[in-house]
Each structure stands twice: as structure tokens, then as C-alpha cells.
Chain A
Amino acid sequence: MNVEFKNINKHFGPVHANVDINLCINSGSIYGILGENGAGKSTLMKVLSGFMQPDSGEILLDGKVVTIDSPADAINYGIGMLHQDPLDFPPMRLIENFIVGQKGGLVPSYKNTIKQFQELQKKFGFSLDPDAYVDTLTVGERQQLEILRLLWMGANALILDEPTTGISSLQKEKLFAALRILANQGKTIIFVSHKLEDVEALCSKVAILRKGILVGELAAPFNSDKLVEMMFGKIISLGERYNLSQEKIVLALNDLYIEQYPLRIENVNFQLRAGEVIGLAGMEGSGQDILLRACVGLIRPISGKVIVKDIDLSNKTYHTYMDNGVSFLPASRLEEGLVPGLNLAEHFTIAGDEKKGLFIDKEYFKEKAEKMIEEYHIIGRPDLNVESLSGGNQQRAALSLLKDSLSIILLEHPTRGLDIESAIYMWGKLKERCQQGTSIFFISGDLEEILQYSDRILVFFSGRVSPPLEASTTTLDQLGQLIGGKGWDQVFDIKEKS
């Protein structure tokens, strides 16, 4: 089936998520859609799979204009989508999952279905147990199940959203082999990813999206440097960098072993110096968020130690970490950062260490809120509920809530949603704290931000953690390849030798 997008536009409030996308994907090919997080890949795929309707533009299947109203509609047209977070039913058995949604008589015949299922999975070399419960399967196996199900439902075009996240390399090989078989049968495979390595290994053609715009299309064989450049744009310099790290160790991770389904992070040894800034680079879901949370007691390590300023805090609670001067700023602001329904002044009241009498000194905290609103350029009022602030302002509010004297600040995407000027200002604020000896551990999807502000960088790829890289000697290109899983051996072998 040939899939064609014509002038697709989609807005979310002020964000233009898809800008006039024109794309033609031929049947029998494996087509890659590449771009960093927020580039508009998912939106485009949700439009194709019936989850969303475009604001304007049309979709053509084999040259015919179609309107896809719902995911069920999409599968009727032969379009099946494999979601990153598998949309299956974990407490049910595999074969039941397979049957749900299938049309047919009142009582499905398990015997027949299992037979058909076995025949189908044999074609791809899968070996799933139809009687197993889905929550006992690995992510890779759940994917296999979902692919089989979509094919059984009659999918001619298959969309895969970041399918290689969290699966083993063996399962990845199986997946790729299956996709190649399907392409040879004339099915259309759309492979959405931000992993260069996978795209290069699998796709015959790739479209690159950046900030909602289709930057260009390339055909195999690909030039990695070119892909990186198209994904991340031109390199712009952001002024001087300065290193404020001291000799004192404030955080030590010793042989840390953490597990958070589906990832497993082993053998992390790392020492964070006072005043130092460490950037955690990696595509979303590569394990950096897990490590960050393990450093603040939100995830218990299975083995190994987390030592904050010579105190062993492994297995201690989050609040103990807070008491020891570790502060955490999560990415999902309204779920785990700010409390929706409370206003800014109330947030400062809760977060503050001062004026802890029985009654709230409302005047004081109102003034404090006003002061911080000005200092952090928050557009809002003390009596405004946080959920009515814009995303960027929520982030600034969250930053302004941090206590004064902290040893370590852990941040997830600290400048996401901020304009460049505010981002630079924000980093100025954070660097001021570094001067006082506070260390910073931060995750960012913005590689330039990582290169610009970190002293050292840890790179994550599918749960693997690199030894620390000196930020000053690392290039954007290198980093882009590393987070895409390429060039690990060369870079780190050289490091280890030297």
C-alpha cells in the first residue's frame, strides 16, 4: 500500500507540531522517520493511525483520499500501529489479547486461533507461548505479539513507534528480520525512531523531521554526519564555558545496580565533585531518568551504594535525601513537581524553610512570591494557580522553589519549553549556585545544552552508561552518534587506553 501525506498541518495551541508535511511512502519499503523528541514524528503517525485528525491536509492510500476517524477505522484501511508503550492487556493471556477486537462469533475458538497463531508466528521465527500471561512477557515479546495481531487483523501498512526501546539485541535482530520479510511481501513499513544505528541498519529511505518541519529525505546508504546535522540543525556557539568544580566529592555511586522494567543499569561507578555540572545525555528512555531517580531515593538500588557527602544513603527514603541537601526537579511538572490547585504563594509557603510557625504569614509569602516572580521572570501572580501558568513559567516557578543552600540539584530537562534567553538566564542562576559549591546533575534532550553547560557528560544508551566524557573535548557530532548507539567502541576504547 502506498501511503501519501499531502500538506498535513497540525497545531496544539501555540505549537505547530506538523508544518505542511508532504511525504510519499511506497509499498514494499521500510521507511524511516527520524527526528529528536518533539520533532513531530508521533503527531504525524497519530494522524495516520486515526488517533488525531489533521487541521488541514489529506492522506492518500494507493492514490485515494481517505478520512481516518479512529484507530479502528485505520485498521479497516489496513493501517496498524505498534505503540511505544504497548497497548495490550497485561493481566490477560496472550491468546486472549490476540482475540480481543477480532470480529467473529460469540464464542471464539481458542483451538483454531492458537493453530493460526502458531502458523503465523512460525513464519517470523517467533516462539511465543499462547497461554502465557502478557505481564510475564518482555517488551520485545509484547511487540512480537502486537505485530502478529495487527497482521492477523489485515494490516498492510505497519507503523512502529520507537520499537527498539527496551528490547534485547537478539529480539531486535528478530524484529528486523520479520520487518524485512514483511517488506518483501509488499507491506509498507514505517519505522519511527531517533536511533541512527537502527535506521541505518534497516531503512531504505528516511525522512527527517525537526521542529515540525520535514527537513529532507535521504536514501540508503546514509551518511551519519549528515543525518545528525539534519536532526539537530546547525551548530551555534553559546559564549564562553567555565568550570567551577572543586576537589571535594559530594556524591559517590559505588557499583550501583538498578532495575526498572524494562531497563537494567549495572556497575555504575561515579564521583561527583562539588560545584560540578554533569550532563546526562541519551535519547529519552535510555536509562538516564532511572539513574537520576536512584540518586535521590525514588528508586531503590538492588545493590551498590549511593553516598552523599560521606553519608551512605542507599536504601534511604527520598525525604532523607532532601534533608541531606539533595533536591530533585522532575520533568512532569504538574504530576510530580507542582501541585495543581495551589497557587504560587502557597507553593513558596510549602517549599520554604522559614517562618514555620503554626499560622502562615500570608503577607510574607505573598511578597516572597512576588520577589521570586520578578527574579525568575515568571509571568504570573502570587494568587494564580500553577496549572494556569504556561509550561515555561511552570518550569521557572519550579526552579525558583529550590531551597537556598543545596549540595546537589538533580534536574530533568531544566530548560525545556524556555526561549533561549530565559534558558541562558536560568543557567546563569544555576551556575551561581555552583559557585557556592552546589553540584548539578541534569538530563537534557538538547545536546547543545549538555555540551555548553556540563563539565563532564555521561552518555546513556539502552541502559548502558558510558564512562564520563570531558565536555570540552567532545563535539556535537560525536555526542549525536553516541546517543544513537554508534561509535561507542572507538571513543571509549581510546579513552581507556589513554
Chain B
Amino acid sequence: MGNDIILFGLAGVIASGAPIVIAVIGETITERAGVINLSLNGVILLSAMAGFWVAVESDSLFLGFLAGMIVGALVATIVAFSSITLKQSQVAVGFILAITCRDLAYFLGNPIMGAQGPIMLSTSIPFLRDIPILGRLFFQQSLMTYISIIMIVVAWFWIFKTRPGLMLQGIGEKPAAAYVRGANVHKMRYLYTIVGGALVGLAGPLYTLSVKPGWKGTITGLDGIGWIVLAITIFGGWNPVRAAFGAYLFAFLQWLGLVLQPYMTSIPSQVLQVAPFPLMILTLLFVNMGNTEWMDRLIASLPDKLRVRVSKLIRSMQSRQPGGLGIPFDRQ
């Protein structure tokens, strides 16, 4: 295998990771505000179908992406309304929407199955594209891939560096304290749920218009991505940079599965393609173990000096979820 092929493959990882990156950032923003939007798997399928449909009809990529975002925002609004306003279980509503939107996508997408639609081409950036290795990796991509990379930085900057971003952290962490500091907790939770949903909705058309062009119904191969995005959000510790790393890791493992297939003929290709999933669980296990009681007890039983070191190590690995995640907020 030549270097060129590897480089080509890795550039492909950056591209095929783009929709996951965008969706993970969307969910990260939503959960940072304290709301779990579990509907992702359905939303990605529905927006993928809707975006493709609109793009086919209008022959406009832009309108396709816009349609996807609108779908995502609408579904997120339902989640927000039933969980924030009606105080129903976020998990239940999200799950129902995940299933319903998936079926809706397959149903509505039936007429456009196999249709020819516009495809987003790569736009290489002059000068930068000629940088050895990096140019091939990062600067001969499609516009949306560039946007996805920029988005990592923007989301990170927003959450950790800006004033509203700090308040966003506060709303998810301890809504009562945010309320005392003048935040309209419910309004903000609506807003960030909808914005996050719109980003997730952008991931759908990014598949059908670029990464895996076209709508092929149940064999489009997008079923399951939404669940992965949810797992990566946890893995990412609600930090866009770490989450993006998780997304690329996932895309890389999938690519590796494809590459290694010819060398491992005894293992069916379908198995290699799902190889990232158990790895995901293992990492979740790793990330969460520090929160368990037996681990606490184990650490407590260690001698003093070792205890401090071990607990520091575990603390740096584990991801701490926002304190108010999934908990409805009531004044007083």
C-alpha cells in the first residue's frame, strides 16, 4: 500500500467524519444546556432524506442543507416542548422520535429512492492545497468539510470563551445558579436544543449530498449513526474538541475496517464495519468507571500518596456530565 493511498484514505476519513463531527457538536451544545435529545438517529435519517429530496427538486445544494436543518430544528422543538414545557421524560420522547422519524424518512423517501441528485464537489484551496501531506489531507475537501472543521473551533470558542457560552455551561451545570445570575433558563434551553437540533439536521444532507450520495431507503446505511453520535458525545466529555477527536477516531476505525478487509478474508466485512461499536463501549466504560461506587471505595482504600495520584489520573480521564443534564428546572 503506497503512501498516496494512505493519504487519500485519511483525507477520506476527514471527509466522512464531517457529518459526525457536526452532529456531535450539535448534541454537545444541547446537552451542555441540560437537555438530552435522544432523537438523533431518526433526525439524521429524516434530514438526510428531506435534504436530498429538496436538493433534487430545487437542484440547489444550499436549499438541501437548509431543509435538513429545518427538519432537525423542528424535531428538537418537539423534544424541547415536551420535556421543558410539559416535563415529560426526555428519554421517552427522544426515543419515540428516533423511531418515528426513521420510519417517516423511509416512508416519505420511497418515491425518490435511487434518484439522481446534486453532489457537493470538493473545492481545493489555492496555495494551501500544495502543502505536502497537509494540503492533501485538509485543503482538497468539500466546502462542508471545511465548515465542519471551523465549527469545532467555533463551538469550542463559544462554550469556553464567550460570555453567553459561560452562561450556557452554567445553565446545564446548575440551572438555579444561572437563574440567580439573570438567565431565562427555559428560554435558553429551548434555544440551544433547537440550535443543536439544526446542526444534527445538517449532518443528514451532508451524507446524502456528499459523503454517501443519494437516497437508497433502508440500505442507505445511515441507520445507527445517530446512536453513535450520542455515544461520542459522552466520550467527548461535552467538549467539542474531544468530541471531534472521537468522531474522527470512529471514521478512522470504519475506514480501517474497509482497508483491512482484503487481508482478513475470514472475517466477514459486516463484522469489521461494526468493529468501532464495541470499542466505543469500552471507551465509555473507561470514561465512566471513575464515577462508580466500588471505584471510590477502591481508591479510598489506597495509601494516601498513591490515592492522590490515582484519583487525579482517573479524574483526568473520566468525563463529568453537566450537573443538571436531563433534570427539569423549577424556580425556587
Q: Is the CB of A72 within 8 A of B182?
A: yes
User: Which A residues are in CB contact (< 8 Å) with B169?
Assistant: 89, 92, 96, 100
Chain A 249-260, CB within 8 Å of chain B: the 1/0 string?
000000000000
- Distance (whole angstroms) from the CB of A319 to the closest CB of chain B: 14
A108 to B158, CA, bound (A): 11
Chain B 154-193, CB within 8 Å of chain A: the 1/0 string?
0000000111101101100110111111110000000000
Residue of B nearest to A52 (CB): B332
Residue of A nearest to B322 (CB): A91
- Determine whether B331 belongs to the interface, using a CB cutoff of 8 Å to chain A: yes
Q: Is the CB of A100 within 8 A of B331?
A: no
- Determine whether B307 belongs to the interface, using a CB cutoff of 8 Å to chain A: no
- Of residues 279 to 300 in B, which have CB atoms within 8 Å of A's CB atoms? 300
- Determine whether B309 belongs to the interface, using a CB cutoff of 8 Å to chain A: no
- Determine whether A102 belongs to the interface, using a CB cutoff of 8 Å to chain B: yes
- Distance (whole angstroms) from the CB of A368 to the closest CB of chain B: 34
- Determine whether B87 belongs to the interface, using a CB cutoff of 8 Å to chain A: no
19 A-B residue pairings within 8 Å (CB atoms): A70-B179, A71-B180, A89-B170, A89-B173, A91-B320, A92-B173, A100-B166, A100-B169, A100-B178, A101-B167, A101-B170, A101-B178, A101-B182, A102-B163, A106-B162, A106-B164, A107-B161, A108-B163, A108-B166
- Determine whether A370 belongs to the interface, using a CB cutoff of 8 Å to chain B: no
Q: Which 10 A-B pairs have the closest CB atoms?
A: A101-B181, A72-B182, A87-B177, A71-B180, A100-B166, A89-B173, A100-B170, A87-B180, A108-B163, A106-B162
A102 to B162, CA, bound (A): 12
User: Which B residues are in CB contact (< 8 Å) with A106?
Assistant: 162-164
- Determine whether A376 belongs to the interface, using a CB cutoff of 8 Å to chain B: no
- Distance (whole angstroms) from the CB of A93 to the closest CB of chain B: 10
Q: Is the CB of B163 within 8 A of A104?
A: yes
Chain B 296-332, CB within 8 Å of chain A: the 1/0 string?
0000100000000000000000001001000000011
- Distance (whole angstroms) from the CB of A472 to the closest CB of chain B: 42
Main secondary structure on chain B at its contact with chain A?
Answer: helix
User: Which B residues are in CB contact (< 8 Å) with A70?
Assistant: 179, 182
> B-contacting residues of A (Cβ < 8 Å)?
46, 51-52, 70-72, 75, 81, 83, 87-92, 96, 99-102, 104-108, 300
User: Which A residues are in CB contact (< 8 Å) with B173?
Assistant: 89-92
Task: State whether A100 and B181 are in contact (beta carbons under 8 Å apart), knowing that A87-B176, A89-B174 are contacts in the complex.
Answer: yes
User: Which B residues are in CB contact (< 8 Å) with A71?
Assistant: 179-182
Residue of B nearest to A80 (CB): B180
Residue of A nearest to B181 (CB): A101
A104 to B176, CA, bound (A): 22
A83 to B166, CA, bound (A): 21
Task: State whether A105 and B166 are in contact (beta carbons under 8 Å apart), knowing that A71-B180, A100-B178 are contacts in the complex.
Answer: no
A92 to B170, CA, bound (A): 9
Total A-B residue contacts, Cβ distance less than 8 Å = 70
Known: A87-B180, A92-B166, A107-B163. 10 other contacts (CB 8 A): A70-B179, A72-B179, A72-B183, A81-B180, A88-B174, A89-B173, A100-B167, A101-B182, A101-B183, A300-B300
User: Which B residues are in CB contact (< 8 Å) with A107?
Assistant: 161-163
A105 to B163, CA, bound (A): 7
Q: Which of B167, B178, B181, B323 has the most CB of A within 10 A?
A: B181
A72 to B182, CA, bound (A): 4
Task: State whether A72 and B162 are in contact (beta carbons under 8 Å apart), knowing that A87-B174, A91-B320 are contacts in the complex.
Answer: no
Residue of A nearest to B180 (CB): A71
User: Which A residues are in CB contact (< 8 Å) with B167?
Assistant: 100-101
User: Which B residues are in CB contact (< 8 Å) with A52?
Assistant: 332
Residue of B nearest to A75 (CB): B182
A365 to B19, CA, bound (A): 58
User: Which A residues are in CB contact (< 8 Å) with B177?
Assistant: 87-89
Residue of B nearest to A107 (CB): B162
- Distance (whole angstroms) from the CB of A467 to the closest CB of chain B: 30
User: Which B residues are in CB contact (< 8 Å) with A87?
Assistant: 174, 176-177, 180
Q: Is the CB of B163 within 8 A of A99?
A: yes
A220 to B175, CA, bound (A): 40
A324 to B204, CA, bound (A): 60
User: Which B residues are in CB contact (< 8 Å) with A101?
Assistant: 167, 170, 178, 180-183
Q: Is the CB of A72 within 8 A of B181?
A: yes
Residue of B nearest to A71 (CB): B180
User: Which B residues are in CB contact (< 8 Å) with A99?
Assistant: 163, 166
- Distance (whole angstroms) from the CB of A132 to the closest CB of chain B: 15
A88 to B181, CA, bound (A): 10
- Distance (whole angstroms) from the CB of A112 to the closest CB of chain B: 13
Which residue of A72, A104, A300 contacts B180 across the interface (Cβ within 8 Å)? A72
- Distance (whole angstroms) from the CB of A171 to the closest CB of chain B: 21
- Distance (whole angstroms) from the CB of B227 to the closest CB of chain A: 27
User: Which A residues are in CB contact (< 8 Å) with B332?
Assistant: 46, 51-52
A196 to B183, CA, bound (A): 36
User: Which B residues are in CB contact (< 8 Å) with A96?
Assistant: 166, 169
Q: Is the CB of A51 within 8 A of B178?
A: no
Residue of B nearest to A46 (CB): B332
- Distance (whole angstroms) from the CB of A48 to the closest CB of chain B: 14
User: Which A residues are in CB contact (< 8 Å) with B166?
Assistant: 92, 96, 99-100, 108
Residue of B nearest to A76 (CB): B182
A91 to B331, CA, bound (A): 22
